Amino acid sequence: MNPGRLRVALLSGGKSGEREVSLKSGNMVSKALDPMRYEVKHYDPSSDLERLVRDSANLDVALIILHGRWGEDGTLQGLLDLLNLPYIGSGVMSSALCMDKRASKDLYRHNDLPTPRDLVVDRENRTRPDRIIQDLGLPVVVKPACEGSSLGVGIPRSQAELESALDEAFACGRWALVEEFLEGREITASILGNDQLTALPLIEIIPGQDYNFFDYEAKYKPGASREICPAPLSEELTRRGQDLGIKAHRALYCRGFSRTDMILKNGSYYILETNTIPGLTETSLYPQAAAAAGLSFDRLMDRLIELALEK
């Protein structure tokens, strides 16, 4: 045993609908951590929180490799703050803001960042579908207000499909977001850093012909989508996309790393959402962007840990 090793709590699994993705990410991260530098202990928040609390005084840093609610939404970050245990990624407030698409879109607009028009719909006081169509037209994008990985997302093209899509979104929670549909190129901007921010190369996402959009399966099934990194864009469009990623990161008070997803239509970007814990599987976008910037996966994890301890 090397007494100089950092004692790392690797948190993956959890209770959200993205549990399996989290476990895959956690396994990949675990393999990337140099055993000469790190002593790694694994915790699944769905069953191991009591053990984590007991062990916390003998831990140096936590790697939150969780997605969705109860991991990416500020709840676990709050527990780690109480335990005085540093962790990678954003804090409680930023995590909660980014998970709740209603709040994040309000902050985009407050900071003059372009985002699609939308309506917030309440399951308990439901807006009539015909009024939604009157305001936003068809097709629209329907998504739960507080989910990730495109869970519960649909693109209805008729009133009947809209009603069905709302039912599916409401199965995930009380609030749903209905956005105008913008047909364009899907671009994602990955940001690394605390105070000094680095925009990694942009990625263009092209879902396979079997997918209407970059849904859960298209995200995580190997070969289901094509990702081009760096994205084939002009220098000007690249600069603007990276700049928007940095501005979104700052507008939502992110730390460590983030990934902002956008649509590029007719030369204009529209921000869809910002992720505070991007996926870290073999098919995930953030590691691809880091690799294109010359940052291997193991070095990326080293850097995220450095940023966590810097906080």
CA 27, CA 271: separation in Å to the nearest integer? 31
**DSSP annotation string for 139-198:** SEEEEETT--TTTT-B---SHHHHHHHHHHHHTT-SEEEEEE---SEEEEEEEEESSS-E
Q: Structure tokens of 93? A: 């407030």
Whether 270 is a known active-site residue: answer no
Whether 240 is a known active-site residue: answer no
Q: Structure tokens of 216? A: 């859960």
Place of tokens 């599987």: 281
CA 164, distance to chain mean position in Å, is 26
Whether 108 is a known active-site residue: answer no
- Please identify which of the residues 87, 108, 220, 270 carries the catalytic annotation: 220
- Please identify which of the residues 14, 91, 245, 279 carries the catalytic annotation: 279
- Please identify which of the residues 12, 14, 17, 18 carries the catalytic annotation: 18
Query: 115 and 272 in contact (C-beta within 8 Å)?
Result: yes
- Please identify which of the residues 149, 190, 225, 258 carries the catalytic annotation: 149
Show the 3-state SS of 27-68.
Answer: HHHHHHCCCCCEEEEEECCCCCHHHHHHHHHHCCEEEEECCC
- Please identify which of the residues 104, 259, 270, 286 carries the catalytic annotation: 259
Whether 149 is a known active-site residue: answer yes
CA 117, CA 135: separation in Å to the nearest integer? 9
Whether 275 is a known active-site residue: answer yes
Whether 259 is a known active-site residue: answer yes
- Please identify which of the residues 30, 190, 275, 284 carries the catalytic annotation: 275
CA 308, CA 311: separation in Å to the nearest integer? 5
Whether 126 is a known active-site residue: answer no
Whether 167 is a known active-site residue: answer no
- Active-site residue numbers? 18, 149, 220, 259, 261, 273, 275, 279
